Amino acid sequence: VLACGLAVAAGTGALAVAELGFLQAFGPGMAMTVLVGLAVALTFVPALLAALGPRLLWPSHPGRGPGVSAVSSRARSERMLRVVVRRPALTIVLSLLALGGMSSGVMWLQLGNPVIQGLPPDAGPRVAYEQVSEGFAPGVVSPTDIVVEAPGIGAQEQALEQLGGVLANQAGVAAVIGPALNPTGQTFGVLTSFTGNAARFGVVLDEDPLGSQAIRRLRNLEERLPGLLEAVGLEDATAVIAGDTALVAETVEAAVSDIGRVLPAVLGAVALVLIVFLRGLVAPLYLVAVAAISPLAATGLAVYFFTGILGYPELNYFVPIAAGVLLIALGSDYNVFLVGRIWAEARRRPLEEAIVMAGAGASRAISAAGIVLAASFAATALVPVQTFRELAFLVGVGLLIDAFLVRSVLVPAVITLVGYRSAWPGNSLRRVGPRAGRAVGAGGLVTAARARVPSPVTSPAPRAG
């Protein structure tokens, strides 16, 4: 329990290396919550069990042996795991093909911040947005500002009028409001600056200004701006872009960049706990590598479901990274529970048999934990906001993939294929030899540690006479 709690806390706490402020706050906050829960699990829960005894588990009757359903479930798990340990390479290939198919949706992943469109259909801001979009253009609720700067540019009325015209002809632009629309000739500090050294254009996009399509339109326009300025004779001017669309674009890029910082930190933190717990290097390395597959598969399925079936234009930008960290951290629980039991069983039986026995014994608990956690996160879908539904789906499906495919099938197959080398350079795994008491270390050397067989005691020969 201690190792599980520390692994989850370390994984979530690694979000502190992110650049986005809310991720920096979310990670340590989640880690503190986990540590408080760990303290409760190690102190209050045992005390409660000791005080109330079996009554706390009513109507079940612990200690009377497993029920028929538990025995049947264990038998099914044993049969499956015996197939896995007999054909580990084939099992790994088939598992990776299945997970790869799920992950393929990531190729069509689009990120945005659909704050308005993510609200319930009857919400006031959502209704107003749809009415405005129908009567005008979606981008009118948040126009993009393009500020062009050059000495005396406010007096170059013809060039500014031409620039407004070419901006209006760009793909994705519904309308442009610029200095040419000021018929008074006076400077109000709105479309041209009081100094005359800057001019402002309000660009209305024909897409949701906070969505992924608007971000692509904005980036295309940003790339073409230097050429457009040169085409109207303003080659000496510089242009900058501001507005909510530009802000969302920068935020999405920062979130994508954070993946490269956060993911290694999370995997490294979880690996460190596993190294201490398993007293080896090889197994923690491939366990954390496998742990990264579930978030990828869940994200791919989320893309297929939300964009392919429900027709959402994008996912919220922080959902994949937040869900990925949660899945890797929570999945470390299964690693500790499953692999710890396999290591313990391997002290008294061959490794392949230990994988079958320990895996079958742990399968019921892992399945139950996966279902309970998935159901808990799925409950957040009751919040009528798109972001919560995406997070509920991604985490819930990821936990089920992790519990029923990755930990129950793929991890036992990898342990079987790697064998006793999993414990290198430690000796926590010892090859059990054919004779009682004979143990062979991971490197193949016979060792008598923990396996000494006392020599038979012979009675002294009777004395003659």
Q: State the CATH number of the domain containing residue 175.
A: 3.30.70
Q: What's the distance, CA 316 to chain centroid?
A: 13
pLDDT beyond 80 at 459: no
- Shared domain for 154 and 221, answered yes or no, is yes
pLDDT at 417: 94
Q: Confirm whether 382 is domain-assigned.
A: yes
Quick: pLDDT tens for 253-293.
999 998 888 889 999 989 998 898 888 899 999 999 998 89
* Number of domains comprising the chain: 2
**Spatial distance between the Cα atoms of 149 and 94, rounded to a whole number of angstroms:** 59
Q: Confirm whether 53 is domain-assigned.
A: no
- Shared domain for 226 and 143, answered yes or no, is yes
**Spatial distance between the Cα atoms of 264 and 462, rounded to a whole number of angstroms:** 73
Domain stop point among 205, 221, 242: 242
CB 191 within 8 A of CB 179: yes
Closest among 320, 284, 408 to 23, alpha carbons compared: 320
pLDDT at 143: 93
pLDDT beyond 90 at 298: yes
Is pLDDT larger for residue 322 or for residue 450? 322
- Shared domain for 274 and 215, answered yes or no, is no
- Estimate the share of the chain in helix, then strand, then coil, as percent rounded to the nearest 5: 65, 10, 25
- Shared domain for 297 and 384, answered yes or no, is yes
Q: Confirm whether 393 is domain-assigned.
A: yes
- Shared domain for 274 and 416, answered yes or no, is yes
- Shared domain for 282 and 135, answered yes or no, is no
pLDDT at 21: 83
pLDDT at 445: 33
Record the tokens describing residue 369, joined without a space. 């934990």
The boundaries of the domain holding residue 229 are: 124-242
pLDDT beyond 70 at 99: yes
Is pLDDT larger for residue 463 or for residue 185? 185
The Cα angle at residue 225 between residues 222 and 231, in degrees rounded to 5: 165
Q: How confident is the model at residue 429 (pLDDT cuts 50, 70, 90)?
A: confident
Closest among 212, 396, 378, 393 to 302, alpha carbons compared: 393
Section 126-141 average pLDDT: 90
CB 191 within 8 A of CB 203: no
pLDDT at 226: 93
pLDDT beyond 80 at 54: no
Is pLDDT larger for residue 124 or for residue 66? 124
pLDDT at 65: 57
Cβ neighbours of residue 426 closer than 8 Å, sequence gap 6 or more: 278, 279, 280, 281, 442
Q: What percent of the chain has pLDDT over 70?
A: 88
Q: Strands of 198-205's sheet, edge to edge?
A: 173-177, 198-205, 144-149, 238-242
CB 338 within 8 A of CB 422: no
pLDDT at 444: 36
Integer angstrom CA distances of residue 417 from 91, 225, 359: 10, 56, 15
- Shared domain for 72 and 90, answered yes or no, is yes
Q: Confirm whether 119 is domain-assigned.
A: no
pLDDT at 15: 86
Q: How confident is the model at residue 367 (pLDDT cuts 50, 70, 90)?
A: confident
pLDDT at 69: 57
pTM strictly above 0.85: no
Integer angstrom CA distances of residue 455 from 402, 437, 452, 458: 49, 12, 9, 9
**Spatial distance between the Cα atoms of 104 and 297, rounded to a whole number of angstroms:** 8
**Spatial distance between the Cα atoms of 55 and 65, rounded to a whole number of angstroms:** 17
pLDDT beyond 70 at 455: no
Q: Confirm whether 372 is domain-assigned.
A: yes
CB 28 within 8 A of CB 15: yes
- Shared domain for 158 and 259, answered yes or no, is no
pLDDT beyond 60 at 366: yes
CB 381 within 8 A of CB 393: yes
- Helical packing angle, 88-103 and 411-418, nearest 10°: 140
- Shared domain for 215 and 260, answered yes or no, is no
Q: Confirm whether 180 is domain-assigned.
A: yes
Q: Confirm whether 181 is domain-assigned.
A: yes
Where residue 18 sits, what CATH number does that domain have?
1.20.1640.10
Residue 185 identity? G
**Spatial distance between the Cα atoms of 114 and 143, rounded to a whole number of angstroms:** 15
3-state SS, residue 460:
coil
Section 176-193 average pLDDT: 80
Phi first, then psi: give them for residue 336, nearest 5 degrees. -60, -45
**Spatial distance between the Cα atoms of 78 and 68, rounded to a whole number of angstroms:** 15
- Shared domain for 145 and 215, answered yes or no, is yes
- Shared domain for 238 and 268, answered yes or no, is no
**Spatial distance between the Cα atoms of 3 and 11, rounded to a whole number of angstroms:** 12
**Spatial distance between the Cα atoms of 451 and 432, rounded to a whole number of angstroms:** 10
Q: How many residues belong to the chain?
A: 465
3-state SS, residue 435:
coil
Domain stop point among 242, 262, 290: 242
Q: Which helix (H) or strand (E) holds 296?
A: helix 293-303
- Shared domain for 258 and 366, answered yes or no, is yes
Phi first, then psi: give them for residue 311, nearest 5 degrees. 80, 15
CB 154 within 8 A of CB 162: no
In the block, tokens 């692999």 appear at 339
Per-chain mean pLDDT for the chain: 85
CB 91 within 8 A of CB 409: yes
| Lowest-pLDDT range of 131-135, 255-259, 431-435 | 431-435
pLDDT beyond 50 at 317: yes
- Using DSSP bridges, classify how beta strands 238-242 and 315-316 pair: parallel, antiparallel or unpaired: unpaired
pLDDT at 439: 40
Q: What percent of the chain has pLDDT over 90?
A: 48
pLDDT at 433: 55
Q: How confident is the model at residue 70 (pLDDT cuts 50, 70, 90)?
A: low
Q: Confirm whether 435 is domain-assigned.
A: no
